[in-house]
Amino acid sequence: MVRELWESLIESLEGLGSVIRFLLRLIVASPRALMRYDLIAQQIFNSGALSLVIIMLSGLFVGMVLGLQGFQLLQRFGSGEALGTAATIGLVKELGPVVTALLFAGRAGTALASELGLMRATDQLSAMEMMAVDPVQRVVVPRFLGGVIAMPLLAAIFSVIGIYGAQLVGVQIMGVDSGSFWSQMRAAVSLSDINEGIVKSLSFGVACSLIAVYEGYNATPTAEGVGRATTRTVVTSAVVILFLDYLITAAFL
Amino acid sequence: MNQSTPIVDIKKLDYAINGRPVFAGLDIQMQRGQVTAVMGPSGTGKTTLLRLITGQVMASGGCIEVEGQNLRQLSRKDLYILRRRMGMLFQNGALLTDLSVFENVAFPLREHTDLPERLIRQIVLTKLQAVGLRGAAELMPAELSGGMSRRVALARAIVMDPEILIYDEPFVGLDPISLGVILRLIRRLNDALGITSIVVSHDVQEIASVADQVFLLSGGKVVAQGAPADLKRSPSEIVKQFVGGLPDGPVPFHFPAPDYFSELLSRSEDH
Amino acid sequence: MRKSHTLNLGTGTFVLLGFAALFFLSTQTTSRGLSFGRSPHYILTAKFDNVGDLKVGAPVSMSGVEVGRVSKIEFDSKEYKAVVQLRINNKFGQIPTDSDASIYTQGLLGGKFIGLTAGGAETYLKDKDQIDFTQSAFVLENLIGQVLANFTKSKADAQSAPPADTKPTEKTK
């Protein structure tokens, strides 16, 4: 039993090392890959623009729930007017980056992993190697960078829509004063809160995109191999996101 | 480089996958300008041999020389330069699914040359014409049949005017007509462009009609080589089994198993 | 290349939306507003016996209006006082030289901030001037201690004489 634990620990360490080496390889190939901005733009579209609908919808609903719950809770202490502050801080620092990252892993992460896995399974990556084109530079890095760039933008959009969702519920439905909603928020929220949110979503972007392209690129070239890679992407991303969330929150304290 | 120096020279090649030896002391010489066929039963490592020739994997022992260059001594950059003189046709075409037929064929040109758009267009259309698919230039790979995508892959493989063309199981899953088309193309391109072709296949009859030289592999070694006609007359058991398509012979029908009778009996005794 | 129009439009819109959201978050939800960079200001200093948990960046207000921020808090080891540097916006250049600076608490248990009360002088504080009249932070523990001390004292007095009110005052120069 202990032996199995030990072995899986070693395996995880090996996996981590492998992922980090892949990241280094991506970083090294990035400068030349950046020159093909058309490829990167395409990937920003795939990972970002195509995720807009789900992110906006989720942001709206999360914001609305935050408005409801937040108001109920604050009202008990007579601080219903602080809803603006509570919703904004909750969204910008935690819910925005984390929920966006989880949704991203589910939608864009799986798309990246399965695309690359399929290219691996149909020999497209080998064909590129044969044509003396580095598949990492041409196919993997643009997808990685696309995800990294898209994530903070998505998280920001999520937060903004969430704030309006909270306002919708709080002001229109629950009767919080609109002026107080915004002015208390402005007084209490500082730029460092926003910065913390941006740092988080950037880190999540790097982590999720890295995991997705890594799993896809190294997938076993069979149908089930690709399926497994896709599942692993979501699971690993989720765990890493939540872990990083704790680290960064603690670091900013 | 005189006529007798082989374009691909494999000497005493050793290669193992996960400890299991695939090749041990393999010797193959392929001549320039010829169509060379590599045949053998499933699992003998024909595709692995292609990967070794193109440098995608490295041998553990022995030496492979392509165009006089020892693959082991090449840097990654030099390997890439060498690969530009080779064209490879993969088993399932391996077209890039997000690009159109035209873009797929143009891919190597766009990546490696700075040619103006007009020139690229002319070259691509010429190559597509050579494989008979000029009219399909705007289709996407998903809209092509198996035979068509393989022809497009062929056009892509020749677009940079390579000196060596490698075909990995080009006939698998094709209907007789498409098969005939590919066969004809292999021979015609080889002679018209003055290149060397290496075909890995196990379609004996088809290959025999176009190959100049045949190597038959089994158990990681060359068990027969020569012109197709010679092979058909060979007295070797394994060649006969292979050429004749016989179910049993040196390559056994039965997967290794314990004695049949005793296995049956022992099971009924357990009841 | 037919797809490139929708592609460009889509990507461009998305990136624009994203940056608009970031901009919105940075300016409309924080007190920073649309001010970029540091507005022109001048520096005043004030010495306190006890600054409590006053933090750098805390607001400095006058009549409830924010006029600046605390930019530095240092310790003077000769006078054993806290030296607080106030960065005052140039817009508010008419603070009389005899004004006083006190440390207040936001709400009941909030953070500390500095409130300036105008004096009657006709000259105004300039860059690098010092505010001479200061009142230190209200430290909760001290008040509790005083209340308790008062309470026990009044109890003792009640047994001998009618209770006298004593209000604790702390005003330091």
* CA A2 to mean position of chain CA atoms: 35
The answer to whether residue A38 neighbours chain B at the CB level (below 8 Å) is no
Confidence of residue C35 (pLDDT cuts 50, 70, 90): low
- Partner chains of A (3+ C-beta pairs under 8 Å): B, C
Q: Taking Cα atoms as reference points, which of B259, B214, B232, B267 lies closest to residue B40? A: B214
Q: How far is CA B32 from CA A112, B149, B162, C92, in A?
A: 43, 28, 13, 90
- C15 → chain A, closest CA residue: A153
Closest CB to A157: pick one of C11, C17, C32.
C17
- B94 → chain A, closest CA residue: A124
CA angle B47, B48, B49 (to 5 degrees): 90
Distance, in Å, from the CA atom of B39 to the CA atom of B215, rounded to the nearest integer, reads: 6
Q: At what angle do helices A141-167 and A52-76 cross, to 10 degrees?
A: 40
Is this structure's pTM higher than 0.90? no
Distance, in Å, from the CA atom of A83 to the CA atom of A100, rounded to the nearest integer, reads: 22
Please list every residue in chain B whose beta carbon sits closer than 8 Å to the beta carbon of residue A133.
Answer: 107-108, 111-112
Test mutation, A43, A120, A131, chain B, max B CBs within 10 A? A131
Q: Which residues of A touch C (CB under 8 A)?
A: 41-42, 44-45, 48-49, 52, 88, 92, 149-150, 152-154, 156-157, 159-160, 163, 182, 185-187, 189-191, 193-194, 197-198
pLDDT at B92 over 90: no
Distance, in Å, from the CA atom of B31 to the CA atom of B43, rounded to the nearest integer, reads: 25
* C-alpha torsion sign, points A194, A199, A202, A205: negative
Distance, in Å, from the CA atom of C84 to the CA atom of C115, rounded to the nearest integer, reads: 13
Q: Which amino acid is at C72?
A: K
Distance, in Å, from the CA atom of A104 to the CA atom of A234, rounded to the nearest integer, reads: 9
Contact B170, B182 (CB under 8 A): yes
pLDDT value for C170: 47
- Distance between A141 CA and the closest CA of chain C, angstroms: 18
Contact A117, A232 (CB under 8 A): no
- b/e per residue A178-189 (b: at least 16 CB within 10 A): eebbbebbbebb
**8 Å CB contact of B97 and A122:** yes
Distance, in Å, from the CA atom of C167 to the CA atom of C169, rounded to the nearest integer, reads: 6
The arrangement of strands across the sheet holding B164-168 comes to B86-89, B164-168, B196-200, B35-39, B213-218, B221-226
Q: What string of DSSP letters covers C87-143?
A: EEETT----BTT-EEEEEESTTT--EEEEEE--S-SSB--TTEEE-EEE----HHHH
**8 Å CB contact of B88 and A127:** yes
List pLDDT tens digits, range B106-160.
998 888 888 899 999 999 999 898 888 888 888 999 888 888 888 899 899 888 8
- Give pLDDT tens digits along chain A (253 positions): 889 899 988 888 888 899 999 999 999 999 888 888 888 988 999 999 899 999 999 999 999 999 999 999 888 888 888 888 889 999 999 999 999 999 999 999 999 999 999 999 888 888 888 888 889 998 999 999 999 999 999 999 999 999 999 999 988 888 888 888 888 888 788 888 899 999 999 999 999 999 999 999 999 988 899 999 999 999 999 999 999 999 999 988 7
**8 Å CB contact of A193 and C30:** yes
Kind and range of the H or E run holding B87: strand B86-89
pLDDT value for C2: 47
The residue among C51 and C35 whose pLDDT is bigger is C51
pLDDT at B18 over 70: yes
3-class SS letters over B211-244: CCEEEEEECCEEEEEECHHHHHCCCCHHHHHHHH
List pLDDT tens digits, range C91-147.
888 888 888 899 888 766 567 888 989 888 888 888 888 888 888 877 777 778 888
Tokens for B51? 């990967």
Test mutation, B51, B56, B88, B103, chain A, max A CBs within 10 A? B88
